[in-house]
Chain A
Amino acid sequence: NAGVTQTPKFRVLKTGQSMTLLCAQDMNHEYMYWYRQDPGMGLRLIHYSVGEGTTAKGEVPDGYNVSRLKKQNFLLGLESAAPSQTSVYFCASSTWGEQYFGPGTRLTVT
């Protein structure tokens, strides 16, 4: 039981490049989330999903897109990366109450 896994762990992008972050969970959770963590800012919700095929915007959705084609996977896309998207990205999943977080992806946009 791996819990919540994220790939890649680290990535450096140039401004304007695109990439997809993958989150996978093996706990059969309905709900999945993407957060970003910036120094002194806590974690902020980007997008979330309440089930396969559904997505919704969180607090800071601009510049990101998401897809949940399979229940166990939640993808976060950056179509045209900007330096302001330099951050640590965390995926989480839950059924009710406790959210289980992945180990994070550290993204730097130069």
Chain B
Amino acid sequence: QQQVKQSPQSLIVQKGGIPIINCAYENTAFDYFPWYQQFPGKGPALLIAIRPDVSEKKEGRFTISFNKSAKQFSLHIMDSQPGDSATYFCAASIGGGGADGLTFGKGTHLIIQP
């Protein structure tokens, strides 16, 4: 049973557009929700993370929106650039991002066309 469902699998957006990637979770014990960015041949790197006591968090061009009642969260990339082309993973964990490891979504392959 997949605990974190991510959509879409792939996404193509024109430069300057706003790609939106969505995730839904089932386990209400999750209390830490990060997004990771991965370039080909590299390990994932943390992009931005949110905890369920806030509904939105912005860091630069990246925004997480969080809907606790719907058990959903999403990533928005403002003014997207070709350099944002990568695979994005949402994830969730219990214990506020502590010891227990992350449960990942299956990933979204994002292409930003020039």
Q: Which residue numbers of A lie inside 8 Å of B, CB to CB? A: 4, 30-31, 33, 35, 40-45, 48, 50, 58-59, 90, 92, 94, 96-99, 101-104
Contacts and interface: CB of A to CB of B under 8 A. Distances in A.
B99 A42 contact: no
A43 B104 CA distance: 6
Given A59-B103, A98-B34, 9 more contacts: A30-B99, A33-B101, A35-B104, A44-B104, A45-B101, A96-B96, A97-B32, A97-B96, A101-B44
Contacts of A58: 101
Given A98-B49, A103-B43, A31 B102 contact: no
Q: SS class of chain B's interface: helix, strand, loop or mixed?
A: loop
Interface of B: 6, 9, 32, 34, 41-46, 49, 89, 96-107
Contacts of A40: 9, 106-107
A48 B49 CA distance: 21
Contacts of A30: 99
